[in-house]
Amino acid sequence: MEHWERTDESGIRSEGTLDERGAPHGVYKQWFANGQLRMERPLKRGRYHGAHRQFNQEGDLLCQFEMVDGDGCFVECYDSGVIRFAMDIFILDGMACGIDEFYDIYGKRFIRTYNWAGRPVKMRVYLKKVAELKKTRQTGISHREKPYAIELMQLSSPGTRIQNNRSRTRR
């Protein structure tokens, strides 16, 4: 295992470890310039795996979520606690597939993209491929058309801070 550390021009410090193949492995951490922890993101052989947490500059928990071997709903929030980015993903043959959504500071979605095997595709192509995949796999996939983070946003009015820090694990 190789440990690495860096600080960017704004003073944000990051650190993590790489496994013998050079893939990120272990807990990736980032700190604000004031020394307060900004995020913790565990990785396993290059994929997000475990409980992720994001904090604001005062140390308040903004959001947390669970990923299992690269599968789940990945979320990032503005310092206000409003979701900035949500990505509902699953891994297929080593490639990320899913839905990405970006939000403004008031919680209004302004971009939604669909990705298959790491490339953007049109919505109908994406939904067709998901349907085909569900038919061909005995166990199916636990992917849902609407990201879980979006459900959290709809529980509260747009622009409000997420109070419910539930996490989910896909089976």
**Percentage of the chain surpassing pLDDT 70?**
80
- pLDDT at residue 161 in the model: 40
CB 56 within 8 A of CB 62: yes
Which one is predicted more confidently, 143 or 55?
55
d(CA 145, CA 128): 11
- pLDDT at residue 39 in the model: 92
Rounded to the nearest 5 percent, the helix, strand and coil shares of the chain are: 15, 45, 40
pTM above 0.75, yes or no: no
Mean pLDDT estimate for the chain: 78
- pLDDT at residue 38 in the model: 93
Place 127 in a pLDDT band, splitting at 50, 70 and 90: confident
Helix ranges restricted to H, the chain: 123-136, 148-155
